[in-house]
């Protein structure tokens, strides 16, 4: 992490701690420092991790669409940890990295299909306070994804907001996952929708 978190990290210990560290190393190649912050409240950490794992089994919407949506949320909120991790996971899951790195600039980028642009717009509209989702946008996504797909996308974007907002509030920042596997830096957004930290 590039700065001090608002809650100090503590050692991850015990039997459950060993499992968490093993799982983290398998997924990320290391144990994120941020886990030491969340370790202060193990039930909350456990619930959040369980939700994340269960959501990975949802299959009404393509993984790439959900990845772009999650990264759009992170860019709008300013969660450098989520953007870094999302870019790293896109690399590991074989998604289109050129598109992934362009998510913060999706409105001006020519990399995205009309459906991808609608998903990105929906993620941003849900993230706005208050939300700015329109009937027209919802109707297009309902036609494209079906009712189960739109509900899944909505739940996924809501979960992305939970995690991104929590990370920003706690001062959890990028840990260099993407840089560690040699990925090009993400595009940088400058404007009213938020700012992508230059550390990515």
> How far lies 127's CA from each of 50, 98, 123, 158, 160, in Å?
22, 24, 6, 8, 9
Per-residue pLDDT of the chain (200 residues; tens, 9 = 90+): 445 899 999 999 999 999 999 989 988 888 998 999 999 999 999 999 999 999 999 999 999 999 999 999 999 999 999 998 888 888 878 888 888 989 999 999 999 999 999 999 999 999 999 999 999 999 999 999 999 999 999 999 999 999 999 999 999 999 988 776 677 777 765 444 444 443 44
Closest-CA residue to 103 (of 90, 93, 92, 94): 90
How far apart CA 80 and CA 54 sit, in angstroms, is: 23
Domain membership flag for residue 48? no
Coil, strand, or helix at residue 109?
coil
- Which secondary structure element, helix H or strand E, spans residue 195, and what is its range? strand 194-195
Per-residue pLDDT, 97: 87
CA distance 172 to 189: 20
Residue 50 lies in a domain: no
Task: Give the pLDDT of residue 193.
Answer: 46
Sole residue written with tokens 């995690």: 163
pLDDT of residue 189: 55
- Whether residue 135 lies inside any domain: the answer is yes
Q: What is the pLDDT of residue 68?
A: 95
> How much is the pTM?
0.88
Domain CATH for 164 = 1.20.1290.10
Domain hosting 127: range is 60-195
Q: Is residue 11 part of a domain?
A: no
Q: Give the count of domains, the chain.
A: 1
Domain for residue 169, yes or no? Answer: yes
Distance CA 8, CA 6 (A): 6
Helix axes 14-28, 42-55, angle to 10 degrees: 40
pLDDT of residue 44: 96
- Whether 179 is in a domain gets the answer yes
């Amino acid at each position: 992490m590039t700065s001090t978190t608002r809650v100090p990290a503590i050692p991850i210990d015990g039997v459950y701690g060993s499992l968490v560290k093993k799982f983290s190393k398998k997924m990320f190649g290391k144990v994120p420092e941020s886990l030491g912050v969340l370790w202060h409240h193990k039930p909350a950490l456990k619930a959040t991790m369980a939700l994340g794992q269960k959501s990975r089994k949802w299959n009404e919407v393509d993984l790439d669409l959900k990845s772009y949506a999650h990264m759009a949320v992170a860019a709008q909120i300013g969660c450098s940890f989520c953007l870094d991790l999302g870019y790293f996971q896109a690399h590991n899951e074989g998604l289109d990295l050129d598109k992934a790195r362009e998510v913060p600039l999706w409105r001006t980028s020519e990399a995205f299909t009309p459906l991808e642009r609608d998903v990105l717009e929906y993620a941003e509209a849900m993230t706005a306070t208050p939300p700015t989702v329109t009937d027209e946008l919802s109707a297009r996504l309902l036609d494209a994804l079906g009712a189960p797909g739109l509900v899944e996308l909505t739940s996924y974007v809501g979960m992305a907001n939970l995690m991104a907002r929590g990370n920003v509030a706690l001062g959890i920042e990028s840990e260099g996952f993407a840089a560690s596997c040699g990925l090009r830096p993400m595009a940088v957004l400058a404007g009213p929708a938020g700012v992508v930290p230059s550390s990515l």
